[in-house]
Structure formats: structure tokens, C-alpha cells
Amino acid sequence: MTEAIYAVTGMTCGHCVSAVTDEVGALPGVEFVAVDLVAGGESAVTVTSAAGVDVEAVRAAVDEAGYVLVGRR
């Protein structure tokens, strides 16, 4: 298993968490997504996968949910 943590901005509530979790969780190879919400700040999105997921795929999924991936932690 591989784990990567990303910083995401723009999230403010549980609905935001669900949107990001659903989009990132739908990526091939993703086993688990956990979000540590920091409303109005940089939330930590932890992605667990079998073999790693391309950061650009995660960025696109976060963007599709309506938020911004600002970097990897």
C-alpha cells in the first residue's frame, strides 16, 4: 500500500469532504480516502492506493469536485 497526503483549499463543510472523497475515491487503484477538514484553510487529503496514484489525476479529481490541490505534504 502507498499513502500520499495532499493539501486542498476551498473546503468548508461535510459536503465538501464528500465531494472530494467521491471524486478521488473513483480514481483507479485508490483504496481509501480520508479528509482532515480545515474549514477555510488547507485540508489534508490522504489517499491510500495499491501502487500510487499520479498527482495530476488527483489534482484533476479535486478540481472536478470544485476545489484546489495546492501541493503534496
Distance CA 8, CA 47 (A): 12
Q: In Å, what is the CA distance from 20 to each residue of 23, 49?
A: 5, 16
| pLDDT at residue 63 in the model | 98
| Spans of all domains in the chain | 2-72
Q: What is the pLDDT along the chain (73 residues), one digit of tens a residue?
A: 999 999 999 999 999 999 999 999 999 999 999 999 999 999 999 999 998 899 999 999 999 999 999 999 8
Q: What pLDDT is recorded for position 52?
A: 87
The reported pTM is 0.95
CATH number for the domain whose boundaries are 2-72: 3.30.70.100
